[in-house]
């Protein structure tokens, strides 16, 4: 969207057929004229074309960006914090908001400690969306929401443990059904570092790698460095994937430093999860912030497109 504050003025836009009028944009974006004009005044958002008679015309891309901004503000984000974000980041925020809204039945089952119902609902979604769609649309947003509710005291530990057990069981079943990896497939080991019991992130990483044709070995949670090193060397794995939800940054940093020093330089170490986010950069260790980034690395390092 043009953020210069000035838009082109024409008597009649030459490309009017490819542009959208104000009414169409408001309908597509789900905002009112007052809101749009306020955003234009405050943040320099301008229509693609403003005719000499004052009519406003917008591109389809501008309409889509306005729709994303509306979804993100509905999710509680301040418009001032959104206007400079790239479209891709707005899409992620909007998708998270939509996914959270669809989690209602699952979260009610979690709060009620109704494991059979949660299992039924999750299995239905897994069957409908397929393995990767299930991970993207349900597992990741559900576990994020459960973690947020636990952190704020709105969900007890028993419910969090129950939900984790059910999700783990379904993901494990999906992984068991994956076809064997080719004999020449790259090998990846996925686990969590010593002291980290939250394992869904590592399990998801192993599953996604399996779906992409990798020989992915999931080793469970809370694994000391010595065991990670032994497993990596024994399996001749070229990739080690670590996930951490919590943990002290200094301790996680030290563990990564020791692991990097002990493994061959040809072994790639990938870390992911909120626990690793504040950890300082380490040469030879890549932090993965998003599932899409992980998939891109898998494909770049020899995996297949799903």
Maximum Cα interatomic distance, the chain, rounded to a whole number of Å:
75
Answer yes or no: is pLDDT of 1 > 80. Answer: no
Residue 32 confidence (pLDDT): 86
Answer yes or no: is pLDDT of 93 > 90. Answer: no
Domain with CATH 3.40.50.280 in the chain: 179-300
Answer yes or no: is pLDDT of 8 > 70. Answer: no
Q: How far apart are CA 164 and CA 219, in angstroms?
A: 17
Which homologous superfamily is 179-300 in?
A: Cobalamin-binding domain (3.40.50.280)
Q: Six-digit token pair at 184? A: 């020449």
Residue 87 confidence (pLDDT): 92
Q: How far apart are CA 89 and CA 92, in angstroms?
A: 5
Residue-wise DSSP of 246-305: S--HHHHHHHHHHHHHHS-TTSEEEEESGGGTTSPP-TTEEEE-SHHHHHHHHHHTT---
* pTM strictly above 0.75: no
3 or 234: which carries more pLDDT confidence?
Answer: 234
The CATH number of 102-173, from 3.30.360.10, 1.10.1240.10, 3.20.20.80, 3.30.2350.10, is 1.10.1240.10
Give residue-wise pLDDT tens across range 273-300: 989 988 999 999 999 988 889 999 999 9
Residue 2 confidence (pLDDT): 46
User: Whose CA is closest to 281, among 271, 273, 291?
Assistant: 271
Half-sphere CA count of 144, side-chain side, radius 13 A: 16
CA-based Rg of the chain, rounded to a whole angstrom?
Answer: 23
Class of domain 8-77: mainly alpha
Residue 17 confidence (pLDDT): 54
Q: Six-digit token pair at 275? A: 């626990």
Question: What percent of the chain shows pLDDT beyond 70?
Answer: 93
């Amino acid at each position: 969207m043009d953020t210069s504050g000035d838009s082109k003025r024409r008597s009649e836009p030459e490309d009017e057929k490819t542009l959208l009028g104000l009414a169409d944009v408001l309908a597509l974006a789900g905002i009112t004229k007052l809101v749009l004009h306020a955003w234009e005044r405050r943040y320099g958002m301008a229509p693609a074309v403003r005719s000499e008679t004052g009519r406003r015309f917008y591109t389809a891309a501008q309409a889509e960006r306005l729709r994303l901004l509306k979804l993100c503000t509905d999710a509680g984000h301040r418009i001032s914090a959104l206007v400079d974000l790239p479209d891709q980041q707005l899409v992620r925020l909007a998708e998270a908001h939509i996914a959270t809204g669809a989690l209602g039945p699952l979260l009610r089952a979690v709060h009620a400690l109704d494991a059979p119902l949660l299992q039924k609902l999750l299995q239905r979604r897994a069957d409908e969306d397929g393995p990767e769609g299930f991970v993207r649309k349900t597992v990741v947003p559900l576990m994020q929401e459960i973690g947020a509710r636990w952190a704020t005291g709105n969900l007890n530990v028993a419910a969090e443990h129950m939900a984790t057990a059910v999700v783990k069981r379904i993901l494990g079943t999906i992984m068991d059904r994956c076809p064997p990896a080719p004999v020449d497939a790259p090998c990846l080991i996925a686990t969590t570092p010593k002291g980290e019991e939250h394992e869904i992130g590592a399990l998801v990483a192993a599953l996604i790698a399996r779906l992409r044709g990798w020989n992915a070995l999931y080793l469970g949670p809370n694994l000391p460095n010595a065991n990670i090193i032994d497993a990596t060397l024994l399996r001749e794995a070229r990739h080690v994937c670590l996930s951490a939800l919590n943990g002290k940054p200094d301790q996680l940093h030290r563990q990564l430093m020791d692991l990097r020093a002990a493994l061959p330089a040809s072994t790639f170490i990938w870390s992911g999860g909120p626990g690793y986010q504040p950890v300082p950069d380490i040469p030879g260790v890549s932090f993965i912030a998003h599932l899409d980034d992980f998939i891109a690395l898998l494909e770049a390092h020899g995996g297949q497109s799903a």
